[in-house]
């Protein structure tokens, strides 16, 4: 068992005149420390009190969002660079908040991770995306071939993950070949040997596996060879600057060349203009996604998606 701590500090008399106020303000500081990551501490300030109350309210509302059906999935197409055909979609969660409107993951996913809600939320995403794929295929929309789902580090650490995925596939009657699971480089490298075991189990089920945000973590090329993945996703931070930064272009080209030598497919993330697409096409990148092709779409809008460049 791996234990971490987050510590909030309040001092008498500056941060409270009695036990109740000191505990309340220490709690506010602790929430702020948790938001900064594991094993950190924070001393109370007056600004933290307001921030903590807002955060606590939003966290409580997130608990209810799962029950009240306020979460929704959008789908971003992945396009084959050479043919222009859609080869897959990535499922991206949004929170349709009753007061704040449509909230993006950067607002609530860190909160879900620190509170433990990321596990039921991740299960909801998995089940909803698989169910939607089955609906599309039942309607004859077989050109939507595969749905990719991001696994959080917390999800990937769960020993029950393969059993959960198998259960959802059985429940939704979706063939495993139509499911892709994405893990980040940093999550895979936390415990490489265990990652290999989990990934092998998932791969043997027929699931496509991707290493997400490649280039931003610290993966060893030795483990990259041993991970039973099928796809590398090149992080958008490299794709963004390939037209203007020689080093970014070289890194991107080298990563794609490495992937090809390892027999892996490549998806370039964050493609936003025709110049980036031309560069990727010239270096034989396999697939790409980004706003050049499409923003994330609702399930209904994706059914009518036609690429127009």
The yes-or-no verdict on residue 308 having pLDDT over 80 is no
Mean pLDDT of the chain: 89
The yes-or-no verdict on residue 2 having pLDDT over 60 is no
State the pTM of this model: 0.82
**Residue-level pLDDT at 1:** 46
| Coil/strand/helix, residue 26 | helix
Beta-sheet pairing, 101-103 with 287-288: unpaired
Higher pLDDT, 22 or 302: 302
Helices (H), the chain: 19-35, 46-67, 105-115, 118-138, 153-157, 161-172, 185-190, 192-204, 221-226, 236-239, 246-261, 274-282, 299-303
Average pLDDT value for residue range 18-42: 79
CA trace torsion 100, 101, 106, 112 (10° rounding): 70
Lowest mean pLDDT among 153-157, 224-228, 283-287: 224-228
Q: Which domains are assigned to the chain? A: 6-44 (no CATH), 63-303 (3.20.20.450)
The yes-or-no verdict on residue 294 having pLDDT over 50 is yes
Percentage of the chain beyond pLDDT 90 is 60
Q: How many residues does the chain have?
A: 309
Lowest mean pLDDT among 11-15, 37-41, 222-226: 37-41
Average pLDDT value for residue range 262-277: 95
Lowest mean pLDDT among 36-40, 43-47, 140-144: 36-40
Higher pLDDT, 195 or 3: 195
Average pLDDT value for residue range 139-155: 94
Per-residue pLDDT tens for 82-125? 999 999 999 999 999 988 899 999 988 988 987 889 999 999 99
């Amino acid at each position: 068992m791996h234990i971490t701590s987050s510590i909030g500090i309040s001092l008498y008399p500056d941060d409270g005149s009695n036990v109740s106020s000191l505990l309340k303000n220490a709690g506010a500081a602790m929430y702020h420390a948790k938001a900064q990551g594991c094993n950190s501490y924070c001393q109370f300030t007056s600004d933290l009190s307001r921030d903590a109350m807002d955060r606590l309210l939003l966290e409580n509302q997130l608990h209810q969002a799962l029950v009240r059906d306020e979460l929704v999935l959008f789908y971003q197409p992945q396009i084959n660079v050479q043919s222009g055909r859609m080869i897959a979609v990535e499922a991206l969660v949004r929170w349709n908040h009753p007061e704040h409107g449509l909230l993006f993951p950067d607002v609530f996913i860190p909160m879900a991770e620190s509170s433990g809600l990321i596990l039921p939320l991740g299960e909801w995403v998995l089940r909803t995306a698989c169910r939607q794929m089955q609906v599309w295929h039942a309607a004859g929309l077989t050109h939507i071939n595969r749905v990719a789902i991001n696994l959080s580090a917390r999800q990937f650490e769960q020993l029950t993950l393969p059993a959960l995925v198998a259960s959802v596939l059985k429940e939704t009657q979706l063939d495993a070949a139509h499911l892709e699971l994405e893990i980040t480089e940093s999550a895979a490298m936390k415990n490489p040997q265990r990652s290999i075991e989990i990934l092998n189990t998932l791969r043997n089920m027929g699931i496509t596996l991707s290493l997400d945000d490649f280039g931003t973590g610290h993966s060893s090329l030795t483990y990259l060879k041993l991970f039973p993945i099928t796809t590398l996703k090149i992080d958008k931070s490299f794709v963004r600057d390939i037209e203007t930064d020689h080093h970014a272009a070289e890194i991107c080209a080298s990563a794609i060349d490495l992937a090809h030598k390892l027999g892996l497919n490549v998806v370039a993330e964050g493609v936003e203009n025709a110049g980036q697409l031309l560069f990727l096409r010239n270096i034989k990148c396999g697939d790409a996604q980004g706003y050049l092709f499409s923003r994330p779409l609702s399930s209904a809008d994706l059914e009518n998606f036609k690429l127009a460049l």
